[in-house]
C-alpha cells in the first residue's frame, strides 16, 4: 500500500497526461472556441507537446537512472508539473465555450468542459497523492485512499458545474443564472478540499478534542455533499443551458455521483477514525441514511 499511495498514482496520472498530449499532437487541428479563442494547428501541437513534457515530468522519476538525482528535486519537479496541469485545465474551464474542430465538426460547451475537467482530475490526483503518506494499517490505508479519491471526484464535479455556468432552466422545476451554478460549483470544491484536509490531518498525536471536531466536521461535510446530490435527483429532468437542450441523464448522473460519493466519504472517514461508541454509531447511521435516501430522491 505504501507504494500505491506514495508514487503509483502520480506516475499513472503522468502517463495518462502524456498519452493525452501525444493524441493532441498527432491529431493537431485548428480549434476555435466560439467568440473566445482560435488555436491554429501549431498552437494545438504546442499544447500537446506541453502536456507530453508535463506528463514525463510526473512519470520519469520512475526510471532507476534518475533515482540517483536529488529526491527533493524530483519531488519539486513533479509538484510543479501537477500544478501546471491544473493551471492549464482551469484556463480552459474559464474560457469554456462551444468548439469547432477542423475536420471533426462542432462540439457543445459541455464536451469542452468535460475534456478540461478530466485533465483537472488527473492533475488533482497527481498533486494530492504526491503528499499522501499511507497509514500503517493496510486496510485503513486502502479506505483512506478510497476516501481521498472520492474527495477528488467531488472537487472535479464542482469544477464541471463551475465550467458549465450559464442561464439554466431545469424544465418545470427551476430557473437560475450563472451565479447560481458558480456558487454550487465553488461550494462543492470547498467541501471536497475540506474532506481532503480532514483525511490528511487525521494522524497519530492529535488531541482528543481535535479528533472529535474532525469527526463532526467530516460528518457535516459529507451530509452537505449528499444533500446537494439528493436535491439534484429530486429535480432530475431535461434542462436548457445557454439555449442548448440537455436530456435528463445529465442531471441524473450529476446527482447520482454526489449522492453515492457522500456515503462513501462518510463511511471511509468513520472507519478510518477508528473511534468506538457513539461516534462510530452516528457515522454509520448517517452512511445508511444517505444510501437509503437515494432511491427515494430519484423517485420523488
SS (H, E, C) 25-87: HHCCCCEEECCCEEECHHHHHHHHHHHHHHHHHHHHHHCHHHHHCCHHHHHHHHHHHHHHHHH
Express each pLDDT in 17-34 by its tens digit: 999 999 999 888 899 988
The greatest distance separating any two alpha carbons of the chain, rounded to the nearest whole angstrom, comes to: 63
Which residues have CB under 8 Å from 194's CB, separation 6+?
A: 217, 221
**Residue 292: which pLDDT band, with cuts at 50, 70 and 90?**
very high
**Model confidence over 179-220: pLDDT tens digits?**
999 999 999 999 999 998 887 765 555 667 777 788 888 889
Beta bridge partners of 244: 241
Q: How many CA atoms lie within 13 A of 229 on its CB side?
A: 27
User: Which of 163-177, 197-211, 217-231, 256-270 is least confident?
Assistant: 197-211
Q: Which helix (H) or strand (E) holds 163?
A: helix 138-163
Sign of dihedral through CA atoms 124, 126, 131, 132?
positive
Cell, residue 46:
504546442
Contact at 8 Å (CB) between 298 and 236? Answer: yes
Mean pLDDT of 148-157: 95
From start to end of the chain, where are the E strands? Answer: 31-33, 37-39, 99-101, 105-107, 168-170, 174-176, 239-241, 244-246
Q: What is the DSSP string of 176-191?
A: E-HHHHHHHHHHHHHH
Give Cα separations from 13 to 103, 123, 229 (angstroms): 29, 7, 27
Tell me the C-alpha distance between 80 and 223, whole Å: 34
Say what the pLDDT of residue 67 is. 58
C-beta neighbour count of 295 within 10 angstroms: 11
Mean pLDDT over 226-236 rounds to 94
Task: Please choose, from the candidates 51, 112, 113, 59, the residue with its C-alpha nearest in 3D space to the C-alpha of residue 84.
Answer: 51
Give the strand pairing for 174-176 and 168-170: antiparallel
What percent of the chain lies above the pLDDT cut of 70?
Answer: 90
Amino acid at each position: 500500500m505504501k507504494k500505491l499511495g506514495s508514487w503509483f498514482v502520480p506516475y499513472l496520472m503522468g502517463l495518462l497526461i502524456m498519452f493525452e498530449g501525444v493524441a493532441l499532437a498527432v491529431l493537431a487541428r485548428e480549434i476555435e472556441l466560439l467568440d473566445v479563442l482560435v488555436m491554429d494547428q501549431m498552437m494545438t501541437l504546442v499544447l500537446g507537446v506541453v502536456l507530453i513534457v508535463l506528463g514525463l515530468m510526473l512519470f520519469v522519476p520512475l526510471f532507476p537512472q534518475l533515482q540517483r538525482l536529488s529526491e527533493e528535486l524530483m519531488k519539486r519537479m513533479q509538484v510543479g508539473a501537477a500544478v501546471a496541469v491544473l493551471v492549464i485545465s482551469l484556463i480552459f474551464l474559464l474560457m469554456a465555450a462551444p468548439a469547432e474542430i477542423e475536420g471533426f465538426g462542432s462540439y457543445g460547451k459541455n464536451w469542452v468542459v468535460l475534456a478540461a475537467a478530466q485533465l483537472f482530475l488527473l492533475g488533482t490526483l497527481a498533486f494530492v497523492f504526491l503528499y499522501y503518506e499511507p497509514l500503517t494499517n493496510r486496510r485503513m490505508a486502502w479506505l483512506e485512499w478510497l476516501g481521498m479519491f472520492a474527495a477528488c471526484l467531488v472537487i472535479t464535479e464542482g469544477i464541471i458545474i463551475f465550467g458549465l455556468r450559464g442561464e439554466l432552466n431545469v424544465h418545470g422545476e427551476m430557473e437560475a443564472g450563472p451565479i447560481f451554478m458558480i456558487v454550487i460549483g465553488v461550494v462543492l470544491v470547498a467541501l471536497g478540499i475540506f474532506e481532503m484536509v480532514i483525511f490528511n490531518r487525521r494522524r497519530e498525536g492529535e488531541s482528543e478534542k481535535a479528533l472529535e471536531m474532525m469527526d463532526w466536521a467530516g460528518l457535516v461535510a459529507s451530509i452537505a455533499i449528499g444533500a446537494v446530490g439528493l436535491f439534484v435527483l429530486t429535480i432530475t429532468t431535461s434542462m436548457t443551458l445557454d439555449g442548448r437542450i440537455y436530456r435528463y441523464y445529465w442531471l441524473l448522473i450529476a446527482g447520482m455521483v454526489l449522492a453515492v460519493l457522500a456515503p462513501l466519504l462518510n463511511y471511509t472517514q468513520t472507519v478510518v477514525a477508528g473511534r468506538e461508541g457513539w461516534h462510530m454509531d452516528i457515522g454509520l447511521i448517517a452512511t445508511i441514511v444517505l444510501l437509503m435516501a437515494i432511491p427515494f430522491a430519484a423517485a420523488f
